[in-house]
Amino acid sequence: MAKQFIEDLVREMTLEEKLGQMTQLTPEFLGFDPSRDLTGPMNELNIRQEWLDKIGSTLNAFGARKLKELQDKNLRESRLGIPLLFMADVIYGFRTVFPIPLAMGCSFDPANYEKATEVLARESAAAGIHLTFAPMTDLVRDPRWGRVMESPGEDAYLNSEMTRAAVHGFQGDDFREKGRIASCVKHFAAYGAPWGGRDYNTVDMSEGMLRDFYLPAYKAAVDAHVAMVMSSFNTVDRIPASANSWLLRKVLREDWGFTGPVISDFAAVSETIGHGVCADGEEAAKKCIEAGLDIEMTSTHYLHHVQKLIEEGRLDPGLIDEAVTRILELKDVLGLFENPYKDASEEDEKRLFLCEEHRRAAYEVAVECPVLLKNEGVLPLGHGKYVSGEDRGKGLKLGLAGPFAGSGDILGSWTVGGQVADNSFYSGLRVRLPEAEIVTAMTEELLPLQRGVKDVEDRVEEALEKLKDCNVILAAVGENSEDTGEAASKAYLRLSPNQEKLLFALRSLGKPVVMVIFSGRPLEIYPVLDCADAVLQAWYLGCESGLALADLLLGRKNPSGRLSMSFPYTVGQIPVHYNMYRTGRPIRNVADRYVSRYLDCPNDPLYCFGYGLSYSRFVYEDFRVEQLETPLCQEGPEGMSKVPFLRASVRVTNVSDMAGKEAVQLYIRDITAQVVRPVKELKGFQKIFLEPGESREVVFTLTREMLSYWAPSGGFLYEAGEFEIMIGRNSSEVETIRITAD
């Protein structure tokens, strides 16, 4: 039940005022930049001047002073004084930039995502922002899709845990608390599964696939009390998400109990026409409102057509009141009716942006995210191996080559005004190794394919001459960040030809080579894997990238990242993920012919989900599984399904001489079910820190709910029977116990 003042406000509003609240425009239309001529944009969207004092929210306007001025203007001109809601795309960095979400997923520690989003919220709130379009929690299995960099990865359980942490980091326990902003989870639903990995393309899957894998992370956001949900561009069962009543009303509201507003993605209401399910804007407005889409982003079909639809009796006006009530309730819980500026503060902007505390947090998260994929004894460079004394680099001649050696392209593709001092890879090494001789070669930056640039200049021979006397060579390679993110799908995932040529040439010098990869997706590195003695997947680590990478390579920090998305041998394997469905003809013997396999490539990925090396060595012992007695105090079948009934434990010991973190992972396999089940599924993980020689018992509990699946009859079903319980360091290296569970 809405508060009385909101009910009264809705009754007093004209239909045009209600439709204005249901429309989001970019800030220039509302006077954010008075010097700009809006004649063209106004005509293009057919926006009427009399609508502008009724608009309910803006997209991507920043800055405390400007937003307070914009709010003042709105309150002066709005008949009822309804405050604007300022929304923005603050994904993984505002001014202080953290690692991309795919990298934070690799930390296998939700606390890192929460730490990052707390900082993002503080900086955004100071800049006047009320709501962020994050987290993006789409499950991703195809690295050709550019937006994999915005997701925590390929696993439903890991994504759900990361999503809960991100929502809480943004929102805290009270929206009105200073430094908190509302969170909008996106993109609902299944946007991460476009055919061919091509952005905005068709999505089509069974309901079982959708319910078991793609929906859980969105539900985790709803369970964490996320303020808003954004509908996706794609189809769900052949109907665009923005006009999909089953998705928005049945699943989201009826099944999950979500009560907040739903907003479209950018111009997605218009795109229902492009999809071919609506003939024109009038039909688009009708279908989207009936489906439960409350706010239309950057198009104006609601304002243009709803009055006519209601007058002709083709649209229930009660749906408009429902939508507006949800929007006003969000503004109320944010405290905007009492304080329409919320936390906007020029003083706080100066105090918080890239402050020491925030940069320290960015560094602490950054060192947790890179994944050591290969190490044949060359790393760490410190501890007397190549660097003596106090790790200052005296006597070391270090080679540094490749387009990311001194590049500032370390923030990723989705930051809003992210700032960085000189914290490139080179600068980080220079700070940590002030007495080393660092020789650079072939360091021209790689420009983006988006601008038609396919490669760096071939200066391989020159590089070989400069680097031939180095003790060890670091090759900083990858992809330009503009070639990741939205509208950045790629059919080829190999390094550019001249980067590969450089790596092959460096191998010929007979020097230890460490490949450091900067990318927003898993790349096809198998062709050059033998060129390097060690490989570190760096991702884009944000504003503290240089120091974080230097510390990991030198051994000042111990790599602890684990892959949240599998690396393919080749794009021909895609999709290749650890939790594939079982087949009736699995490979049992390499000589078998009539089985599900490739002739020229393994079925398994090059590097599997959960994989990552450390400078420490951990031993797993005493793996046990026991069935617990079910407490009698739980009532009803749903309550019983949430009660722990299995306990799995293992003792992990650090048998090396270096302290480190280990991501202990729990997987299950349902042996027999009504439907085909995956070969394994992640159901738990714990990141533990162990000193040299230290042991710890790691305990997981499982509920029947965690072992259930979407049944053909509808609803989630737990079936007693045989299960395999697995614990290990990644999805391939596990110990297994088969049990019969009640």
Specify the DSSP element, H or E, that contains 371.
Answer: strand 371-375
- Known catalytic residue: 265? yes
Q: Which residues contact 119 (CB under 8 A, 6 or more apart)?
A: 96, 98, 358, 361, 362
Distance CA(576)–CA(598), nearest Å, equals 12
Task: For residue 197, give both structure tokens.
Answer: 């990995």
Task: Say if residues 324 and 165 touch (Cβ distance below 8 Å).
Answer: no
Q: For residue 638, how many other CB atoms are within 10 A of its CB? A: 10
Structure tokens of 708? 């259930």
Produce one character per residue of 305-328: b if its CB has 16 or more CB atoms within 10 Å, e if not.
bbbebeeeeebeeebbbebbbbbb
| Dist. CA 468–CA 483, nearest whole Å | 32
DSSP one-letter code for 541:
-
d(CA 517, CA 541): 11
Q: What is the CA radius of gyration of the chain?
A: 27
State CA 42 to chain mean position distance.
Answer: 34
Q: Which two tokens stand for residue 498?
A: 């001249």
The torsion defined by the Cα of 468, 474, 475 and 476, in degrees rounded to 10, comes to: -140
Residue 373: closest CA among 605, 577, 687: 605
> Which residues, including other chains, have CB under 8 Å from residue 19's CB and lie 6 or more apart?
54, 302, 303, 306, 307, 320
One-letter amino acid for residue 465 of the chain: E
- Catalytically annotated residue among 265, 294, 348, 483: 265
Pick the closest to residue 156 from 177, 140, 172, 136 (CA basis).
140
CA gap 409, 504 in Å, rounded: 24
Which residue, 158, 82, 520, is CA-closest to 324? 82
Closest by Cα among 559, 16, 61 to 320: 16
User: What is the spatial distance between Cα 486 and Cα 482, in angstroms, rounded to a whole number?
Assistant: 9
How far apart, in whole angstroms, are the C-alpha atoms of residue 179 and residue 171? 9
**Closest of 638, 728, 738, 618 to residue 683, by C-alpha:** 728
Q: Which residue, 633, 614, 632, 639, is CA-closest to 704? A: 639
Q: Kind and range of the H or E element at 668?
A: strand 660-670
Sign of CA dihedral 362, 367, 368, 369: positive
What's the distance, CA 730 to chain centroid?
20
The rounded distance, in Å, linking the Cα atoms of 523 and 525 is 6
Q: Which of 434, 432, 502, 498 is nearest to 473 (CA)?
A: 502
Residues in the chain: 742
212 with 677: CB under 8 angstroms?
no
For 421-538, strand residue ranges (E) read: 437-441, 472-478, 513-518, 534-537
Residue 648, beta-bridge partner list: 625, 700
Per-residue tokens: 4: 């009385």
Active site residues: 265
